[in-house]
Structure 1
């Protein structure tokens, strides 16, 4: 029984455990490196002394933070732009950039969520649970093999690999058990499975109304060692009602900026102390040597992972299914693919087949596998790349351009780049074009000039194929037949019409949930599992290219809902708006995990205009836990296109929606959603300080205006949309 408990979790979770252990081991180095590189705070230095030294160098400083490693960072705004620097506490001078380490952030996202959001966190928690079970069952098995607990470290006999497995296990098991148990605690805390601690209230007005008291005259700051500081927020110089907010190892409080009096204080609770201790044990933040020890024990996981077959199988499943794919070292032609939705892989398969028929040996792989050193026999590299969003790289190609720039010299193999996109978007094929421009700037010889494919045009692809064939001195005819997605018939059950008065016909279309097999329901395939923010792909009659619409509903709502506006000469929107109740369309589901509200309890700031209200309404509808949601909704006229007006009022009464701010671009006093944001600047800044996530949906022009407005709103608190994007707290779904 114990062997079974040890064997099956190891077999089933092998790859996941390898990822978690290796990323955890790599992350364990950063706290120690930060500790070694950060000047330590002198014991006799007070918070007042530290703040005065920094203020002398950076008069506009707004916040000072001290990390568990001792690193001190100051934040301020200069010339309208947020600034930050690592500070030497002795001099107050900036000594290094405060920009986050990209590698550390990447590893952290991998370790915490596998880049899969809440689903990835659940998977990581499952891996930690498997590790707990493996550690406990392994401990029992090691004790049995050694002949009892007292003989734990006795020499072993038997085959080398078996002995090595046990030797590593009995050294690493304690660290692995501690790492996995604390990891489970942190995941549970992330999903609010523990009771909330007492509310901390430190927001008070400045009762004296006076300003200008020197830091050295404030008793609390002068008497508290800087080594106990966590953060100090300084009041705005022109705001007499603002206060100092200070967080230390003992608690949090506020100070009158005119008298230095302590206005409020909250001691660190026992529950918070336990949580912080567990965080320290798991991350090594504040105890770097513990992190290094746990990192070393984590390296025991790959050494004990003898499940090579499972690793191979997992790697095989992660690769595209292209038959006859020649290995990279034996191929004459290397085809690298960057695709978001998967359609570009179909073009790569057509190209590979045509080149193979012409006598070429071809290797096809994801663009992320780019490695010129492996291409021993390659005579050319062909890159087929789609563009995601507003000129971004697909998820499978993140960082590729940086890798190109870092090449010491361009490969001698000639290159051809083909972009895939939709010419109606401003950033048409921007990522593929950036690849070509970067390669040319590095001196890479181009086999054929950069070209692009508009809306998956088979004619454009065939034309490019003839150019490529001429450059290769072969006849190359590319006849691409797109593989149609697996669609289901969706029946319209209701529609609500808007926008006729402003010549912008719009409708909320609700379709019945199609029946799915039990297996699909359990596995989440097809329409087995979806959430608001995912995409409904619709194949319009007379076209093989799908159009995508953001879902305003989730599986638990029991229906599929989208919001559609009629576009001039819009084939799909025109057909959808002609539907009557009982009519059907062919549709399929496309995941859009990057635009999910998630299950956290941090406030949500939802911003949308026009049909962009669709997924935002879905987030509010699903908010049964009454997460604080603030919705900013822009429309043309309240009498014509106030979408979801009845539902929004009901959701406010039910507590699903905390605040609704509207903006009407037509009428006596026209304004836009950006204006509403600026009017609520103080509240938005407060919410963002509390960890709020901002989600924007709508047209590109609106999204650009919203970004500019939020840049102005967030600048006083040292933040910006770009910084929030880097933290995953600012996401867009624009069209």
Structure 2
């Protein structure tokens, strides 16, 4: 796109916005008050207050908007966009689009991209390259605003080198992040690891509480074993990008049909769910093929067609954005079964693969820190569930938020499994943590879990809950939320957990 000369007079300068959270509205108001724009008499309006049919020669539209949901316009821009899509040509209109988005969502800046396309399709003339801004939109706005002023004053080359567009990553467009640190956090088995990834140059933005998705590489030993089973070395390349561990019922049904396995067909009955889960535990595609098929009954080409692409694995991010670094805390999956050493698809790739990992971020707004206010926080994590809580703590320090924080951490043994011990104890010593409580279940004859510690600290916890605290809970989904519900109800009274949920004060990340 080339900048369009703007020396012809500006009859109207409209600063239009559509906003859900208020960020786009605030930027529009700041732009409308900009001294450089005052000679043009800017009018700041919600999109829906702009008459599309009245737009014409001499008009300039500066469009600032977020996107809602899956790339839809915010509510105060819906009517405007619908009118624009039905409008005839608008050759006399000049415009610029500044989009606010979040690369954590699949349709990043989806609405403002569609708005730019709709204006262009109607022969409106762009003044500047479209801006696709992420959470760091302020930096983009500071770069864009003065260049906009220059272009409006007739400098047709001012935006020539201005490209303010964040790249949105996804499963088919993952970023190759360097793995710069692998540090074991415990002395017991299974191992817990701290991983440090380098995302410099990616433009990827995230918040504490967000999720990192890993596009993992399959275990070379498993691929080679499948090739040996088929007696065909091409199986390595044919199955390299296929899902070999998480087998859907659809895949299993087809394998049972092709292999003529009555045993597998029986296990797939609804009434046999528990038996199927027990059978599949720890197994992979090769095991199922060996048990229920032959290379002749399931040809390699048919198997590749049947299997889905390797599914991304999701991890809670264990850091707050800084220095182009991103941290993870992962539990290694490694065991021996049927004479073969097995590795988890994701942890095998992260811990025993190369020096890079193909990744992308996704927003997890339900686990972000509460906006505004100074309500206390109660953070509860078990095992590697400490990961997002570490990120939240880092964000509090980075933003200077000195709110009261209580952290409860649970694991097996204090001596061997106290993940991030030095950091947590340092935060406690410096008063960053108002309190740090631990539950090491195997250190005493009677097992003690996080819910027991909460009840032991009932007086303190009752006070914290009464002062409007938000609870952040991360750990194993099989029992943790139920245990927390019982503990909070015991402390605050029957139904207290559900009441907190209804008020939006519980934030759960369970896996």
TM-score, with length taken from structure 1: 0.36
Deviation at 1:131, TM superposition (A): 11
Q: Could you tell me whether the CA contact under 8 Å between 2:318 and 2:390 is conserved in 1?
A: yes
Q: Could you list the runs of 5+ residues in structure 2 that have no partner in the other structure?
A: 1-8, 56-62, 74-103, 108-169, 219-240, 242-309, 335-341
Q: Could you tell me whether the CA contact under 8 Å between 1:621 and 1:651 is conserved in 2?
A: no
Determine if the alignment matches structure 1 residue 492 to structure 2 residue 188.
Answer: no
Deviation at 1:598, TM superposition (A): 4.1
Determine if the alignment matches structure 1 residue 507 to structure 2 residue 213.
Answer: no
Q: Against the structure 1 CA distance between its residues 303 and 590, is the aligned structure 2 distance closer, same or farther, given a 3 Å change threshold?
A: closer
Determine if the alignment matches structure 1 residue 733 to structure 2 residue 419.
Answer: no
Deviation at 1:510, TM superposition (A): 1.2
Question: What is the DSSP-based 3-state SS (H/G/I as helix, E as strand, rest coil) of the residue aligned with 1:619?
Answer: helix
Which residue is 1:541 aligned to? 217
Encode CA deviations 1:111-166: one digit per residue, 9 max, x unaligned.
xxx3xxxxx35446556x469969xx99x989xxxxxxxxxxxxxxxxxxxxxxxx
Determine if the alignment matches structure 1 residue 596 to structure 2 residue 368.
Answer: yes
Q: Could you tell me whether the CA contact under 8 Å between 2:24 and 2:64 is conserved in 1?
A: no
Q: Against the structure 1 CA distance between its residues 303 and 549, is the aligned structure 2 distance closer, same or farther, given a 3 Å change threshold?
A: closer
- For 1:663 and 1:674, the matched residues in 2 are separated by 9
Counterpart of 1:620 (choices 384, 390, 393) is: 393
Which residue is 1:565 aligned to? 331
Q: Could you tell me whether the CA contact under 8 Å between 1:488 and 1:514 is conserved in 2?
A: no
Which residue is 1:685 aligned to? 462
Q: Could you tell me whether the CA contact under 8 Å between 1:552 and 1:563 is conserved in 2?
A: yes
- For 1:726 and 1:6, the matched residues in 2 are separated by 47
Question: What is the DSSP-based 3-state SS (H/G/I as helix, E as strand, rest coil) of the residue aligned with 2:453?
Answer: helix
- Rg (Cα) greater in structure: 1
Determine if the alignment matches structure 1 residue 705 to structure 2 residue 453.
Answer: no
Deviation at 1:562, TM superposition (A): 0.5
Q: Against the structure 1 CA distance between its residues 681 and 556, is the aligned structure 2 distance closer, same or farther, given a 3 Å change threshold?
A: same
Which residue is 2:307 aligned to? none
Structure having the higher helix fraction is: 1
Deviation at 1:540, TM superposition (A): 1.3
Q: Against the structure 1 CA distance between its residues 575 and 618, is the aligned structure 2 distance closer, same or farther, given a 3 Å change threshold?
A: same
Deviation at 1:733, TM superposition (A): 0.7
Determine if the alignment matches structure 1 residue 722 to structure 2 residue 498.
Answer: yes
- For 1:313 and 1:671, the matched residues in 2 are separated by 47
Deviation at 1:500, TM superposition (A): 4.4
Question: What is the DSSP-based 3-state SS (H/G/I as helix, E as strand, rest coil) of the residue aligned with 1:562?
Answer: strand
Deviation at 1:578, TM superposition (A): 2.6
Deviation at 1:6, TM superposition (A): 8.1
Determine if the alignment matches structure 1 residue 641 to structure 2 residue 394.
Answer: no
Determine if the alignment matches structure 1 residue 578 to structure 2 residue 265.
Answer: no
Q: Against the structure 1 CA distance between its residues 711 and 133, is the aligned structure 2 distance closer, same or farther, given a 3 Å change threshold?
A: farther
Which residue is 1:306 aligned to? 51
Q: Could you tell me whether the CA contact under 8 Å between 1:661 and 1:676 is conserved in 2?
A: yes
Deviation at 1:672, TM superposition (A): 0.2
Q: Against the structure 1 CA distance between its residues 674 and 316, is the aligned structure 2 distance closer, same or farther, given a 3 Å change threshold?
A: closer
Q: Could you tell me whether the CA contact under 8 Å between 1:536 and 1:548 is conserved in 2?
A: yes
Deviation at 1:499, TM superposition (A): 4.2
Question: What is the DSSP-based 3-state SS (H/G/I as helix, E as strand, rest coil) of the residue aligned with 1:555?
Answer: coil
- For 1:592 and 1:314, the matched residues in 2 are separated by 16
- For 2:458 and 2:406, the matched residues in 1 are separated by 13
Deviation at 1:622, TM superposition (A): 2.5
Determine if the alignment matches structure 1 residue 671 to structure 2 residue 448.
Answer: yes
- For 1:538 and 1:643, the matched residues in 2 are separated by 23
Encode CA deviations 1:626-658: one digit per residue, 9 max, x unaligned.
221110111111111111101112222333222
Which residue is 2:152 aligned to? none
Question: What is the DSSP-based 3-state SS (H/G/I as helix, E as strand, rest coil) of the residue aligned with 1:552?
Answer: coil
- For 1:571 and 1:316, the matched residues in 2 are separated by 31
Encode CA deviations 1:230-255: one digit per residue, 9 max, x unaligned.
xxxxxxxxxxxxxxxxxxxxxxxxxx
Q: Could you tell me whether the CA contact under 8 Å between 1:664 and 1:672 is conserved in 2?
A: yes
Q: Could you tell me whether the CA contact under 8 Å between 2:24 and 2:66 is conserved in 1?
A: no
Q: Could you tell me whether the CA contact under 8 Å between 1:635 and 1:664 is conserved in 2?
A: yes
Encode CA deviations 1:74-100: one digit per residue, 9 max, x unaligned.
xxxxxxxxxxxxxxxxxxxxxxxxxxx
Question: What is the DSSP-based 3-state SS (H/G/I as helix, E as strand, rest coil) of the residue aligned with 2:414?
Answer: coil
Deviation at 1:668, TM superposition (A): 1.8
Query: Between Structure 1 and Structure 2, how many residues are aligned?
Result: 296
- For 1:558 and 1:682, the matched residues in 2 are separated by 42
- For 1:122 and 1:532, the matched residues in 2 are separated by 20
- For 1:696 and 1:710, the matched residues in 2 are separated by 12
* Residues 288-299 of structure 1 mapped to structure 2, 5 A cutoff: none
- For 1:732 and 1:312, the matched residues in 2 are separated by 30
- For 2:496 and 2:469, the matched residues in 1 are separated by 13
Counterpart of 1:7 (choices 7, 13, 30) is: 13
* Residues 246-645 of structure 1 mapped to structure 2, 5 A cutoff: 304-307=49-52, 318=71, 484-501=171-188, 503-516=189-202, 520=203, 527=204, 529-542=205-218, 543=241, 544-556=310-322, 558-567=324-333, 570-578=344-352, 583-598=355-370, 600=372, 601-624=374-397, 625=400, 626-645=402-421
Encode CA deviations 1:500-526: one digit per residue, 9 max, x unaligned.
43x22111111223323xxx4xxxxxx
Q: Could you tell me whether the CA contact under 8 Å between 2:171 and 2:312 is conserved in 1?
A: no
Question: What is the DSSP-based 3-state SS (H/G/I as helix, E as strand, rest coil) of the residue aligned with 1:732?
Answer: strand
- For 2:385 and 2:502, the matched residues in 1 are separated by 23
- For 1:699 and 1:593, the matched residues in 2 are separated by 20
Q: Could you tell me whether the CA contact under 8 Å between 1:553 and 1:618 is conserved in 2?
A: yes
Encode CA deviations 1:196-232: one digit per residue, 9 max, x unaligned.
xxxxxxxxxxxxxxxxxxxxxxxxxxxxxxxxxxxxx
Q: Against the structure 1 CA distance between its residues 557 and 653, is the aligned structure 2 distance closer, same or farther, given a 3 Å change threshold?
A: farther
Q: Could you list the runs of 5+ residues in structure 1 that have no partner in the other structure?
A: 17-113, 115-119, 143-168, 170-175, 177-299, 321-339, 344-482, 521-526
Encode CA deviations 1:417-456: one digit per residue, 9 max, x unaligned.
xxxxxxxxxxxxxxxxxxxxxxxxxxxxxxxxxxxxxxxx
- For 2:437 and 2:469, the matched residues in 1 are separated by 17
TM-score, with length taken from structure 2: 0.51
Deviation at 1:704, TM superposition (A): 2.2
Deviation at 1:674, TM superposition (A): 0.5
Q: Against the structure 1 CA distance between its residues 497 and 312, is the aligned structure 2 distance closer, same or farther, given a 3 Å change threshold?
A: closer
Which residue is 2:429 aligned to? 653
